[in-house]
Structure 1
Amino acid sequence: MSASTPLYDTIIAGAGPVGLFLACELSLAGCSVLVLEQAGEPSSPLKRAPFGLRGLSVPTMESLDRRNLLETITAHAADRATPGMAHVLQQTRRPGGHFAGIQFFHDRIDTARWPYRLPGPVGMVAVEMAHIEAVLAARAEASGVTILRGAGVEGLTQTRQSVAVEAGGRAFRGRWLVGCDGARSVVRKAAGIGFAGTEPKFTGYSVQAELSGADALKPGRQYTAQGMVQFAPPGTIAMADFDKGAFHRSAPITRAHVEAVLRRVSGVAVTVTRLDLATTWTDRAYQARAYRDGRVLLAGDAAHIHAPLGGQGLNLGLGDAMNLGWKLAATIRGDAPADLLDSYARERHPVGARVLDWSRAQVALMRPSPSSRALEAIVRDLIETPDGATYFAERVWGVTLAHDLGGDHPLVGRSVPDVTLGDGRRVGDLLRDGRGLLLDFDAGAPLRALADRWSARIGYGAGRAYDPLGLHAVLVRPDGIVAWASDTPPDAAIVGEGLTRWFGGGSCTA
């Protein structure tokens, strides 16, 4: 490699939503970023409705709002862009989500059980993957990120100072490399990071087809003696064939094969007259044993894979990017505390493991067996109770997601409430520059002096607030996670300790 090869602060493998969002985070902090993408074009029918619809969880929507991306991304939400798509069954009750196809409804959810959430709309919004990627790519390129398509990573070599990357027949250099290149991540394999978990129980099918005899197929999701079939007229089908994943990637997906599987799983003699689109997937649930090896890091599907049941995968990956971005940027700048970058894996690995278990639990309920049908009946009863519906909403929506940061206050490790200050500014508005934030609802001089000394790394919001939830002061990380909080007038020395822990030692005058 030539000594004149440009040295980027970070090279990101993969221009999916996770890689692009991470690129936006790093560029916001002033880092130079190169994104390498194997596909020559971003477009794909699988990224558009119906198969490309992804539900955005509450933490994801909060993250997007904190970077002024939410309104643009949700402008084409499914219920506005394609009326009726989200409610093919024309239900009279408002569904909030599902667990293995068993729906929970808003009228059973008790939001009063979430004491650190402000009153207001809560739930998930469905958006096309193609639109999410387009918005993030436009933001990344506008902020100076270089995106090279048709240049998938082929190999890497790392030293103590940098990583050399081979991609698309060319050589690149970066101080850091982040693999956001999917379940079969070349970066993960080249770095020698282990990937372990549970093997699949089924091959899943997503199909768009023209059908004959489909009147006998009942709309919605049904469990059968052979698996699961979900039908949305006139020709959108999802199936789970419990063959231990044998067909996935093993042979071309033909019209005749899809017809045979549909007939076997549904028990209906339906005919597939034309196959317009078909893809397979499995419930394989694997997680990287480590999220970092030297100067190589992993995020998104490169770090964890599971069945796409309930739309958790995209949200999990975007959460990785939001958590990693500011920590890697601080490390690149040289002002990060010694263990800040290691906290990425400490915080996100348990979150990933929990989502994988959530996916496995749904698969256990979906199995074509008498015991699974008995379990399904019990879950249906539980999910109709306020306790049950509220629990499933917490898990699916992510409203109680918390990282273990070791603090005493119950808000530490959770998303900061979007409190509105007396001057009309929201907390979300104050986080848009990518810095941390010190909220001082008492507007005390000691905290103001601290904020002035740390102004290169944190913003300051002070004074009266609308519904501050009994809080006097809150220290918020750049990703919107509460690092410290107090229900009493704060001690400036304790706040200073929190600033040092998360933002480095010493004076930080701008």
Structure 2
Amino acid sequence: MHDVVIVGAGPVGLLLACELGLAGCSVLVLEREAESGSPWRAAPLGMRGLSATSVEAFYRRGMLHPLLKASGVAADTGPDTDADEPSPPRGVGHFAGLMLDPAGVDLAALPYRLPGPAADGMLTNLEAVESVLSERAAGLGVDIRRGVTVSGIAQDDEGVVAYAGEDAYPARWLVGCDGGRSAVRGLAGFEFTGTEPLFTGYVMLATLSDPDALSPGFHLTPTGMYLRLGTEGHIGMMDFDGGAFDRSRQPSREHLQAVLRRVSGTDVALDDVRLVSTFTDRAMQTTHYRRARVLLAGDAAHIHSPLGGQGLNTGIGDAVNLGWKLAATVHGHAPDGLLDTYARERRPIAAQVLDWSRAQVAVMQPGPHAHALQGVVGDLLGTRGGTTYAFERLSGSWIRHDLGSEQPLVGRSAPDFRLEDGTRLGDLAQDGRGVLLDFTADRRLRGSAAGRESLLRYAAGAARNDLGLGAVLVRPDGIVAWAGDPGFAREACERAVGRWFGLPGRGVPA
């Protein structure tokens, strides 16, 4: 029996497998597709944007440089990691097709942004992400089996079994990471609620009779939207038909040409269509993320339109949040209720992402009302405050879990603190343990390890920029669990250590 069976070998399932494997759990990943390669996962159709918080997740596990290499990105093109102050972001992105100027971001309004290798997002593709994660998972002893379609689930107080035909795969826990049409979600009886679509979206590789008929870039028109990327015939479009055409039948070349002409307002002609897929802006979320011994993560728990590229990033956040909590539960040292904090922390984040997606669709709709809204929203986003707000949303820096503390850093992704000896927080986090950074001169947190060294690393020393803090407790998922000013009480830190890592009253590691 495995500790955990994960259904789905996409980025979310593989990252979760890596997190669990790093913590010493036995993990089996079951994937329906027999082969890992697909044109929909490679560039250009598989291109995805990783937010800064997602890049941090790879950086903190030592996988950023392999990901940059697999993505064809030079490692020296990132931010200046030796700078004393953070540099402006290289890009912001768009809201509903309204492009944002990175020079408009007010860095002074981002008090917890520090220079580091993962200070910005990046463009990659699913094939690159999955290749890096698959290699790391295999190195951690994770068993990945492809061509396995889960058709049944049974569970009791002792464990759960996934069935695929006549084969049975028992485990103590099962996690569905099998996408927006999740089999696990339906088999385990999760309720899925939300809003129905307003448009059908299309993504295709096609050849235009006249390559100059469509301008490159993102174009919001009075009748919809079209997007042309690169020179390989990568075209996207949105037709506000209420989602009527999504996967109802295979789109013909004639249908695609008619839609493209309507939304572009041109007489463009398609010579041929090599690949095409459809999607909608349906926005749904499960009412719970756990039913007994079955949990959900990524698109299995929440779906929405791909506008802004938030889906993959939200799923990555799910995986790193769930991984260490489930591992602690498997090993029997989780504090009471730790696993329940997964849904409590992540479900509100996904709900806000769904609303962010809905808001963009509302602005993009054809008609005079949406057109008027586009003007107002465009003016607001063009202000310094508006651009900064959008940057926070798109970079992931807006995310703050409610951990019951008024300290403004608690619940946020930890800045990449750099100690005077050059050690960074990202270096200390690579083994998957929590980190307690002590910036005080008297090392007041040094004490008995008391068996805690397997769960938490202790690092002492002055920081290049400590943001006015005396100590910071960082969870394995990179979230700040506690922060104290230079005059903090040791007892407050110990309570936080006990809350998140158990073993209360036994000191903190030496």
TM bracket, shorter-chain basis: over 0.9
Q: How does 1:421-436 map to 2 (within 5 A)?
A: 421-436=419-434
In structure 2, what is the equivalent of residue 98 of structure 1? 94
Contact 1:451 1:459 in 2 (8 A): no
Amino acid at match of 2:41: K
Q: Give the drift of 1:80.
A: 5.7
Q: Give the drift of 1:289.
A: 0.5
* Rounded Cα–Cα distance in structure 2 between residues aligned with 1:122 and 1:388: 20
**Residue number among 47, 57, 60 corresponding to 1:66 in the alignment:** 60
Secondary structure of the 2:432 match is: coil
* Rounded Cα–Cα distance in structure 1 between residues aligned with 2:457 and 2:71: 32
In structure 2, what is the equivalent of residue 55 of structure 1? 49
Q: How does 1:106-505 map to 2 (within 5 A)?
A: 106-119=102-115, 122-167=119-164, 169-232=166-229, 234=231, 235-451=233-449, 454-505=452-503
Contact 1:455 1:508 in 2 (8 A): no
Q: Give the drift of 1:450.
A: 4.8
Q: Give the drift of 1:215.
A: 2.7
Q: Give the drift of 1:508.
A: 8.6
* Rounded Cα–Cα distance in structure 2 between residues aligned with 1:343 and 1:39: 32
Report Cα offsets for 1:126-158 as digits up to 9, x if no partner.
001101001101100111000000002111000
* Rounded Cα–Cα distance in structure 2 between residues aligned with 1:325 and 1:443: 34
* Rounded Cα–Cα distance in structure 2 between residues aligned with 1:163 and 1:453: 31
Secondary structure of the 1:433 match is: coil
* Rounded Cα–Cα distance in structure 1 between residues aligned with 2:172 and 2:13: 17
* Rounded Cα–Cα distance in structure 2 between residues aligned with 1:124 and 1:144: 29
* Rounded Cα–Cα distance in structure 2 between residues aligned with 1:96 and 1:106: 5
* Rounded Cα–Cα distance in structure 1 between residues aligned with 2:273 and 2:264: 18
Contact 2:222 2:366 in 1 (8 A): yes
* Rounded Cα–Cα distance in structure 1 between residues aligned with 2:434 and 2:373: 45
In structure 2, what is the equivalent of residue 21 of structure 1? 15
Report Cα offsets for 1:9-51 as digits up to 9, x if no partner.
0000000000000000000000000000000011111112222
Secondary structure of the 1:140 match is: helix
Secondary structure of the 2:445 match is: helix
After superposition, the Cα gap between the structure-2 partners of 1:328 and 1:500, relative to the gap in structure 1 and judged at 3 Å, is same
After superposition, the Cα gap between the structure-2 partners of 1:16 and 1:378, relative to the gap in structure 1 and judged at 3 Å, is same
Amino acid at match of 2:438: D
* Rounded Cα–Cα distance in structure 2 between residues aligned with 1:487 and 1:384: 36
Secondary structure of the 1:489 match is: coil
Amino acid at match of 1:274: D
In structure 2, what is the equivalent of residue 37 of structure 1? 31
Determine what percentage of the aligned residue pairs are the same residue: 53
Q: Give the drift of 1:488.
A: 2.5
Contact 1:77 1:125 in 2 (8 A): no
Normalised by the length of structure 2, the TM-score is: 0.93
Contact 1:453 1:508 in 2 (8 A): no
* Rounded Cα–Cα distance in structure 1 between residues aligned with 2:283 and 2:507: 44
After superposition, the Cα gap between the structure-2 partners of 1:230 and 1:509, relative to the gap in structure 1 and judged at 3 Å, is closer
Contact 1:12 1:36 in 2 (8 A): yes
Secondary structure of the 1:210 match is: strand
Amino acid at match of 2:204: V
Secondary structure of the 1:447 match is: coil
Q: Give the drift of 1:218.
A: 2.7
Secondary structure of the 2:40 match is: helix
Contact 2:449 2:508 in 1 (8 A): no
Secondary structure of the 2:151 match is: strand
* Rounded Cα–Cα distance in structure 2 between residues aligned with 1:147 and 1:94: 37
* Rounded Cα–Cα distance in structure 1 between residues aligned with 2:428 and 2:217: 43
After superposition, the Cα gap between the structure-2 partners of 1:216 and 1:94, relative to the gap in structure 1 and judged at 3 Å, is farther
Secondary structure of the 1:505 match is: coil
Q: Give the drift of 1:219.
A: 2.5
Secondary structure of the 1:390 match is: helix
Across the aligned residues of Structure 1 and Structure 2, the Cα RMSD in angstroms comes to 1.9
Contact 1:100 1:362 in 2 (8 A): yes
Report Cα offsets for 1:289-337 as digits up to 9, x if no partner.
0000000000000000000011100000000000000000000000001
Secondary structure of the 2:307 match is: coil
Amino acid at match of 1:183: G
* Rounded Cα–Cα distance in structure 1 between residues aligned with 2:125 and 2:197: 27
* Rounded Cα–Cα distance in structure 1 between residues aligned with 2:276 and 2:443: 63
Secondary structure of the 1:183 match is: coil
Secondary structure of the 1:209 match is: strand
Q: Which moved more, 1:444-453 or 1:317-326?
A: 444-453
* Rounded Cα–Cα distance in structure 1 between residues aligned with 2:448 and 2:339: 24
How many pairs align?
494
Contact 1:11 1:34 in 2 (8 A): yes
* Rounded Cα–Cα distance in structure 2 between residues aligned with 1:122 and 1:441: 22
* Rounded Cα–Cα distance in structure 2 between residues aligned with 1:78 and 1:387: 34
Amino acid at match of 1:249: R
